[in-house]
Each structure stands twice: as C-alpha cells, then as structure tokens.
Amino acid sequence: NAGVMQNPRHLVRRRGQEARLRCSPMKGHSHVYWYRQLPEEGLKFMVYLQKENIIDESGMPKERFSAEFPKEGPSILRIQQVVRGDSAAYFCASSPWGGTEAFFGQGTRLTVV
C-alpha cells in the first residue's frame, strides 16, 4: 500500500509564475490536509478537503491560493503569481475519515526566485 505521494518534490518558480502542487492520498483515504512550513517554524494549517468538497479553508490566504480534491485524481494546491514569501515546504496529509490518524507525504519544497 503506497503512502501519500506528493509531486514534485522540488519546484522552482520565478516571481509571477504559477505553482501547482499535487497530492495523491493513501488508498482508501478520502480526507486531505495541506500545511505550509517555513524553515525552523511549525506546521501552518492551510486547507482541509474531502472528495469534491472544501471542508475548512480558514488557513488559506484569500488571494492567489486555491485547492481542490476532485472525484478522480490527486488533490491540487495552486498558487498563482508566486512571490518570494511563498517559498516554503508544503506538506499534505491524508486520513481515511475525519478525526483519525493522518499520514504525511514527503512534501514539496517550493523556491521562488
């Protein structure tokens, strides 16, 4: 049973470009969480999704950031018009249902140059 898969592992974007981060949950998991982590800092919650639904996006910046988890395919975190402050590690985690153990992917390290 494969774990949570995130790709790409490393992503370099120029200021103003778009970044798309993908997260394939573990088999049988229908809940996905996205977190951002700056160097030497804690995990900051961004968004919590179930298949085809955004459950909680209270941690998402109002502009430029969006997330989806379609019926088929991976969850996508999209950052439009990236700025240097978006440089961070982005982690997703999945769980079979809410309130249970969540498992993390390896993360995507985004660097904006």
Residue appearing with tokens 């974007």: 13
Number of residues that bind another protein (CB under 8 A): 25
Does residue 30 come out as left (phi exceeding 0), alpha (psi in the -120 to 50 range) or beta?
alpha
Stretch near another protein under the rule CB under 8 A, chosen from 14-22, 63-71, 72-80, 92-100: 92-100
Tokens describing residue 41: 């800092």
Residue 106 touches another protein, criterion: CB under 8 A = yes
HSE, CB side, 13 Å, CA atoms: give it for residue 94.
23
Query: Nearest 5 degrees, angle CA 21-CA 49-CA 8?
Result: 15
- Per CB under 8 A, contacts with another protein among 35-54 are 35, 41-43, 45, 48
Residue 111 touches another protein, criterion: CB under 8 A = no
Residue 107 touches another protein, criterion: CB under 8 A = yes
* Interacting residues toward another protein by CB under 8 A: 31, 33, 35, 41-43, 45, 48, 55-56, 58, 91, 93, 95, 97-107
